[in-house]
Structure formats: C-alpha cells, structure tokens
Amino acid sequence: MGAGPFASAVLRTVGVSPVPPPCRGSPRTLRTMAATNTPVLSTRALNRATLERQLLLRRAAVPVREAVGLLVGLQAQNTRPPYFQLFSRLEGFDPAALSALMESREVVRIVTLRSTIHTHTAEDALTLRPLVQPARDRELHMFRSGLTGVDLDRLASLARELVEERPRTMKELREELLVHWPDADPRALAVAARCRLPLVQVTPRGLWGRSGQVALTTAEHWLDRPPQPAATPDATVLRYLRAFGPASVKDMQTWAGLTRMREVFDRLRPGLVTFRDEHGVELFDLPDAPRPDPGTPAPARFLPEFDNLLLGHADRTRVITPAFKGRNGVGNQSYGTVLADGFLAALWRLDATGDTAVVTVQALGRLDRATREEITREAVELLTVMSPAPAYDVRFATFVDFED
C-alpha cells in the first residue's frame, strides 16, 4: 500500500521527504533508486535532532559527570569553555560541580579527539585515548626528522618515570629528555612523549576561578587505575550517533580525528537507520534516537569557543548556514557563538570592567526585536551564574572586523 496524502503530510511535518514508489530498471538505475528511496532529512530536521541530543533544546536535569559522558567529552583547548558548555546544557549548573569532579579525579583533561584537549570522565580518558592512538602516531611521524637515533620505546619509558615521579611541565620534560638525546630536536622529543603516553593535565589546571600551569602525568598514575583496553570503534560510533547524529561517516571521522571508519559503519548498518541530507549524503542514526519535529522551538544559547556542536561534523551547515560560514572566528582566533532558532546568529564575549561584567553580542545578520530580547535574557542568566561581578551589562556592538 502506498503512502497516501496523510502519510506524506506526516513525513513533511518531521522534515523527512516521502519515499517514492519503487520502479523497474537496470541494476544501475535500481542502485540510483535505492539511494533516492532513502528518506531525506532537511537541514532544520538535522539541526533539531542534533540540538536535542546535545541538550540544547532544553536544559537537562542530569548530574555533571553523566553529562560529560553523554556528550563524549567537552572540548577544552582553553580552560573555561567546558564550564560554559555545561551552563548552556544543564539545569541549575554550578561551575563548582565540575571543579569538584576534577579535584576528585572523576573527570580529567587529556588529549583525545582531533588531537585536542578534552575534559573526559576517568573511564573515557582511559579508553578513548588508546582508541585515537593512530592519530597520535601520525602526528609523531611528522616530527621523525628531529628524532634520528632516538629509541622511542626507551623515551616513552623514561618520560613515564619522570612524570610519575612528579607532574612535570612540558619544558621540564623536554630538558630532561635532552640530557639523554642532546642532538635531537627539543620540540620533537616533547611531542614524542606526548604522543606515546596518555598524559593528563593535573589540577589546579582547569579548575574554575583558579590558575595553574600545564603539568603532566600519566592517566593511570593520576587516576590510580591500570591501563584499559581501547574503546571499540563500533561502540564509539554508536556513542557518537547518540550525541551528534544523524551523521555521515565523514562527520564521525572529523569529530574523532580517525580514518577508515566506513567499514565500521557498514558492519553496524543492519542495526542502524539511514537517511540522506538535502545534498544526497548518506546519514546513519540509531533507530530509537530522538528526531524532533523541525518546527520545534530552539531557545537562544551561548556557546563558548570550540564547542563540539560546531566541531562535531564535517558538514556544519546543520548549525552554521552558508551565509555565516567561517564567521565564528578569524584566522586562528575563535569566538563564543550565539544560537538563535538553533543556528549561528551572533558572536559574544565576556569582559570585566571594574565591578561590572559585560557580555557583548555582535549580530552576524539582522536580529528582530524578539530575538534580541531573548538573547539578552539568556545573557543575563549567563552573567548571573558564571560571573562573580556584582553588576552586569549586556551590549550589542561590533568587536570583530571580518574585513569584507
């Protein structure tokens, strides 16, 4: 029985194009039709599905540690963004809660996905770090010319002894290793230690309202746990889809910094559902994952620089429209972003002037009055929770010159 007018209307409502009836033809034609018959998810449907899983359609009443695991870590290239990521996602978030988990060593800062620092649960730190070792091997290979004559196994063993004796800065570690390999490139020695060992940044680095230099030790030593087997690619794909789906193979590879994941998706295919985006790219998803109506309201949200929502896909148009591509940063400088109706709409920054904390919002396009008021309310909430200043202000002004 075909999909009648009612069924077609329902499919349009949830952002899925109705499936056309089958037809006869050559094998090539049938393969083409198989692709055509896959339901198509609109950009807005992808946007709402991803926001729902990222806890950005409504703040979630879940413990901080659970949220860090659900999101498969928080990008933490800088120390403050993880706190702002959780503020925008969790009901009643208190920055002290994340700091407490870091002090109790239930969450840690470690290089994992995309070879960047992430805040992870202890369990994920121990299992995701070995999963992404191939990316660290590729990074190390780039420095091979500076490591001529260096026994990398011996280097790793020596570096482990040094950082487990006491946490070391990278400068200290580099100087110690130079004693053993004085002709090697100093930077390459440090890179080799970082790539061969699962190094965590110890506290007070990363604590809210505290400063601390980067001092390193091994994850096993800091957590007082034995090494763990690497997370399986299959399990990691499923976790990724739960937090970022629906998504393509390339999306997942971009998020993780891994390659050759197509065979993993193909192995999992029987238990997944597939769609296509508006450009025909195949997307995978969990059958029971939420895919809200694309008309679902999406509240204004302030995201910090390097939020994984903006970095978790090869195709970022589900959050950043083509008109604003590249507008969340200039060169190597990335800025906080404001979502309005689920999409990038403005940049923001937080400054302190005397006893006053100021959020400045730079609109990237025209914002109507209702949207400006909604953004202002969210900015006030951010200032109330995330700033100790007794006074605050919200301003709409330009602070980034895109030179165009």
| Number of domain units in the chain | 3
Give the pLDDT mean for 289-311.
97
272 with 208, same domain?
no
pLDDT for 402: 85
Any alpha helices (H) in 218-357, and if so which ranges?
Answer: 219-223, 233-244, 249-256, 262-268, 308-311
242 with 335, same domain?
no
179 with 278, same domain?
no
DSSP state of 79: S
Q: How far apart are CA 366 and CA 323, in angstroms?
A: 12
CA dist list (Å): 226 to 221, 222, 231: 8, 11, 15
162 with 249, same domain?
no
Per-residue pLDDT tens over the stretch 212-245: 899 999 999 999 999 999 999 999 999 999 999 9
Per-residue pLDDT tens over the stretch 342-351: 999 999 999 9
Within-domain flag for 133: yes
Where does a domain end: 223, 250, 266? 223
CA dist list (Å): 103 to 75, 97, 129, 200, 205: 19, 10, 20, 13, 10
Q: Give, rounded to a whole angstrom, the gap between the first and last alpha carbons of the chain.
A: 55
Q: Is 24's pLDDT higher than 80?
A: no
67 with 158, same domain?
yes
126 with 71, same domain?
yes
Per-residue pLDDT tens over the stretch 375-403: 999 999 999 999 999 999 999 999 998 87
Cis before 204 (ω within 30): yes
195 with 67, same domain?
yes
Per-residue pLDDT tens over the stretch 114-133: 999 999 999 999 999 999 99
DSSP, collapsed to helix, strand or coil, labels residue 217 as strand
Confidence of residue 332 (pLDDT cuts 50, 70, 90): confident
Give the pLDDT mean for 16-39.
50
CA dist list (Å): 211 to 83, 208, 219, 301, 305: 15, 8, 21, 27, 19
Within-domain flag for 313: no
Confidence of residue 37 (pLDDT cuts 50, 70, 90): confident
351 with 392, same domain?
yes
Contact 266/284 with Cβ under 8 angstroms? no
Give the pLDDT mean for 7-18.
39
Q: Is 12's pLDDT higher than 70?
A: no
Within-domain flag for 314: no
Per-residue burial over 290-327, b = 16 or more CB atoms within 10 Å of its CB, e = otherwise? ebbebebebbbbbbbbbbbbbebbebbbbbbbeebeeb
Q: Is 26's pLDDT higher than 60?
A: no
97 with 116, same domain?
yes
Within-domain flag for 47: no
270 with 249, same domain?
yes
219 with 244, same domain?
no
How many Cα atoms are found within 13 Å in the side-chain-facing hemisphere of 73? 30
Question: 250 is in which domain, residue-wise?
Answer: 233-285
Residue 58, Cα to own-chain centre: how many angstroms?
18
| 277 C-beta neighbours (distance < 10 Å), count | 20
Within-domain flag for 273: yes
pLDDT for 15: 53
pLDDT for 36: 59
Per-residue pLDDT tens over the stretch 154-207: 999 999 999 999 999 999 999 999 999 999 999 999 999 999 999 999 999 999
Give the pLDDT mean for 2-22.
38
Give the pLDDT mean for 343-370.
96
Within-domain flag for 361: yes
- Percent of the chain past pLDDT 70, that is, above it, reads 91
Mean pLDDT of the chain: 92
Within-domain flag for 22: no
| 8 C-beta neighbours (distance < 10 Å), count | 14
Where does a domain end: 202, 223, 244? 223
Return the amino acid letter for 106: E
Q: How far apart are CA 148 and CA 141, in angstroms?
A: 12
Give the pLDDT mean for 267-273.
98
Per-residue pLDDT tens over the stretch 55-112: 999 999 999 999 999 999 999 999 999 999 999 999 999 999 999 999 999 999 999 9
CATH number at residue 277: 1.10.10
Q: Is 6's pLDDT higher than 80?
A: no
Task: Please state whether beta strands 216-218 and 199-201 pair in parallel, antiparallel, or not at all (unpaired).
Answer: antiparallel
Contact 106/122 with Cβ under 8 angstroms? yes
209 with 116, same domain?
yes
pLDDT for 216: 98
CA dist list (Å): 276 to 41, 211, 248, 299, 368: 6, 46, 9, 26, 33
- What is the pTM for the complete model shown? 0.89
Within-domain flag for 290: no
Q: How far apart are CA 403 and CA 40, in angstroms?
A: 37
pLDDT for 35: 57
pLDDT for 9: 32
